[in-house]
Amino acid sequence: MRKFMVMLCSVALMAGTITPVAPVTTVKADAYEEDGDLITNPFGDRFEEETPTEESEVFAITSQPQNVEVEPGEYATFSVGATGKGLTYQWYYATATGSYKALSGATQSSVRVKIATSKYNGYRYKCAVKDASGATKSTNAATVTIIARTPLEIVSQPQDVVIESAQTVTFHVETKGVEVQYQWQYYVPSSGEWKKLTQASAKTDTFSMDVTGAFNGYKYRCFIKDAVGTLLVTDPAYIYVKQDFAINLQPTNQYALAGDSATFAAGATGTGLKFQWQYCTASGSTWKNLTGSAAQGKQYTITKVSSAFNGYKYRCVITDFYGQTKTTNVAVVKIVTGTTIISQPQNVTVKAGNSASFTVEAEGPGITYQWQYCTASGSTWKNLSGAASQGATYTITKATSTFNGYKYRCVITDKTGQSVTSNPAVVTVQ
């Protein structure tokens, strides 16, 4: 039987396309004898011997882009790994909640993106990979997270400002942080609320504005936020109008029933005043600061007194903007069971046209005063009118002969409704 040698052909399957494999070995095609038969090459002077080939590379994504954490101003790099023939790349991006869009010029397996501001927080990046056949595979999305390696910090607080007349004032805050934003606010004492400032400088670390003496007591503060949303607020800074420093209201003794409250008040003129109330025990001599914000105002209240407070002494130390201090008189807490007159009003003799004053001193819980008068020859007592007749002292501002022999007394009423009446005092006009 005659056998014939034929040329062997090999093919390779790649992405659905049949592709001839290049010959790797070549042999001469002379006639030869096999099993007694003469064999010749019917295809010419050459034939090819098949050599095994490697299997074609499979199209696949082998590594995904990874999430990144960056500060504003830094770069984020995303990469994809893939196998296949004739691969091309196109990167896409999307906002935290938006749709994907092609990233211009991003056609390599890696892309480097500058994260300019915190608005990129939550941005997503992915890559579409295409092979020579047109097949496409997409990577997972990688997300940008904005971080702040430098924590937000207030380095220096805005400072109080003293003015003597209309002028420009400036408040400044120094901070550390990433992509820091500022918003200044102001507080009007009469309104009791903070309001946002709208001037251009109110969104910077330094705020300036023109003011007058009407701004005395206004407060200013700044809200500060960084790239990751951390929020801080400065201490308030005040505008003060320069004034002479003097105490104009002294605290007075407080007479209270056990269980009642007792309030001391002090007042002063000056610049940037701060108040600190102090106490001393009944038998002691050492003054100690009272604690808490309640002890740092113009008034201090003991909410519930007991017999243990009887004789305790209180005073207020007032400090102005320049560090000068003044101390009020001492006032005492006295626990009482009712109202007692300590000192009676005295007779007064004055020349016509001069003033005449009567004073009563009393102890009692929450006492009020009402002065009365009676004519020289009368017997009926009548209330005097006006605020001048409702204190411990009543003054006739200009006594005339008509007032000669008039009698004056004071009715003192405590918080329980009990009243005591002073002795009468007589005015003599010469």
Per residue in 346-394, pLDDT tens?
999 999 999 999 999 998 888 999 999 999 999 999 999 999 999 999 9
Give strand pairing partners of 211. Answer: 167
User: Any bridge partners for residue 150, and if so which?
Assistant: none
Alpha-carbon distance of 370 to 383, in angstroms, equals: 7
- The encoded tokens of residue 325 equal 């201090």
- Is the pLDDT confidence value at 22 over 50? no
Average pLDDT in the 221-243 region? 95
Q: What is the per-residue pLDDT for 75? A: 95
Does pLDDT of 97 surpass 90?
A: yes
Q: Tell me, what's the pLDDT at 8?
A: 32
SS3 for 118? helix
Q: What are phi and psi of 59, to 5 degrees?
A: -75, 120
Extract long-range pairs of 373-378: CB within 8 Å, 24+ residues apart.
373/406, 373/407, 373/408, 374/406, 374/407, 374/409, 374/424, 375/405, 375/406, 376/404, 376/405, 376/406, 376/407, 377/405
How much is the pLDDT for 36?
52
Task: Answer yes or no: is pLDDT of 205 > 60.
Answer: yes
Q: How confident is the model at residue 337 (pLDDT cuts 50, 70, 90)?
A: confident
C-alpha distances in Å from residue 203, one per residue of 128, 200, 426: 42, 6, 70
Q: How far apart are the first and last CA of the chain?
A: 173
Domains of the chain in sequence order:
1-56 (no CATH), 60-146 (2.60.40.10), 153-241 (2.60.40.10), 246-335 (2.60.40.10), 340-429 (2.60.40.10)
Q: Distance between CA 9 and CA 21 in Å, rounded?
A: 8
What local confidence, expressed as pLDDT, does residue 18 receive?
30
Task: Report residue 338's pLDDT band, with 50, 70 and 90 as the boundaries.
Answer: confident
21-25, 266-270, 273-277, 418-422: segment of lowest average pLDDT: 21-25
- Of the pLDDT bands very low, low, confident and very high (cuts 50, 70, 90), residue 96 is very high
Question: Which stretch of 49-63, 144-158, 221-235 has the lowest confidence by average pLDDT?
Answer: 49-63
Q: What is the pLDDT of residues 294-332, one digit of tens each?
A: 999 999 999 999 999 999 999 999 999 999 999 999 999
For residues 87-99, average pLDDT: 97
Alpha-carbon span 44 to 2, nearest angstrom:
18
Residue 225 burial (10 A CB sphere; 0-12, 13-18, 19+):
middle
Distance CA(412)–CA(255), nearest Å, equals 13
Q: What percent of the chain has pLDDT over 90?
A: 79
Is the predicted pLDDT of residue 45 greater than 70, yes or no? no
User: Contact 36/44 with Cβ under 8 angstroms?
Assistant: no
Long-range contacts of 287-295 (CB under 8 A, 24+ apart): 287/315
Which stretches does DSSP call E strand in 178-298? 181-187, 194-196, 206-211, 219-225, 231-233, 237-241, 246-249, 254-256, 262-265, 267-269, 274-280, 288-289
Across the strands, what pairs with 263?
301
Mean pLDDT of the chain: 88
Q: What is the mean pLDDT of residues 175-181?
A: 95
Mean pLDDT, range 268-277, rounded to an integer: 94
